Amino acid sequence: MGGWIILAILAAIVVFAIAIYNRLVTARNRYKNAFAQIDVQLTRRHDLIPNLVETAKGYMKHERETLEAVINARNMAVAGLKAANQDPTNPEAMKQLAAAEQGLSGALGRLFALSEAYPDLKANENMMQLSEELTTTENKVAFARQAYNDSVMDYNNTCEQFPNNLFAERFNFQQAELLEIEDEAKRETPKVSF
């Protein structure tokens, strides 16, 4: 009789461990899938930028430095995305991606600010269409990043909760890194004057 009780307790522990392991795997796969959605949107963003620069080149002949900065920032962002895509669990790759995307946003901001000085460029239909597509893509990136960060938070919570944390450590489930792309313009305090 005592052997059956011990066997039942061991079976319950094994079933419990399997349930926790499966919950951890599901949470990890959910955040990896959410990163795949970011990958789609960032790839679209990166693909739009060369067309935007080519359109601007004809009008902004004296702004070569700005155009080159945009292309360099785009190339760094593409490399960062590739590294993060290979291993979304790598916190350093996620930090590098965030920094590269922040640099790209800054370079694009300077390009758009300069384009204000070129009325023909602002009125160019291709430039307007590319700008609109880029804005739409930026919004999709923001939504995908929010979904990713929500999935990462859920995964990290699952890893940290007791007794999951005992199994997470044993099965090498490590904390995931949030993707935080700072937009300095959103952090600035608006200036109001009367």
The pLDDT of residue 190 is above 50: no
The pLDDT of residue 169 is above 90: no
Contact residues for 30 (Cβ-Cβ < 8 A; gap 6+): 151, 154, 155
The pLDDT of residue 193 is above 60: no
The pLDDT of residue 16 is above 60: yes
State pLDDT tens for residues 23-62. 999 999 999 999 999 999 999 999 999 988 888 887 777 7
- Determine what percent of the chain falls in helix, strand and coil, rounding each to the nearest 5: 80, 0, 20
Q: Cα angle vertex 89, ends 78, 137, to 5°? A: 40
Maximum CA extent, the chain: 90
State pLDDT tens for residues 57-90. 877 777 788 888 999 999 999 999 999 988 888 8
CA dihedral 147, 153, 157, 158 (to 10 degrees): 40
* Tokens matching residue 150: 């929500």
Question: φ, ψ for residue 63 (rounded to 5)?
Answer: -110, 35
Helix (H, G, I), strand (E, B) or coil at 182: coil
Instruction: State residue 74's pLDDT score.
Output: 94
Chain centroid, CA 161 distance in Å: 25
Instruction: State residue 182's pLDDT score.
Output: 67
HSE-CB of 20 using CA atoms within 13 angstroms: 22
State pLDDT tens for residues 113-147. 888 888 887 778 888 888 889 889 989 999 999 99
Domains of the chain, CATH where assigned: 32-181 (1.20.1440.20)
Instruction: State residue 79's pLDDT score.
Output: 93
Q: Give the residue-averaged pLDDT of 180-193.
A: 53
Instruction: State residue 192's pLDDT score.
Output: 43
Per the listing, tokens 């990290």 go with 156
Q: Cα angle vertex 178, ends 177, 181, to 5°? A: 130
For residues 112 and 51, what is the distance between their CA atoms, to the nearest angstrom?
A: 14
Instruction: State residue 131's pLDDT score.
Output: 86
Q: Give the residue-averaged pLDDT of 7-34.
A: 92
Instruction: State residue 56's pLDDT score.
Output: 86
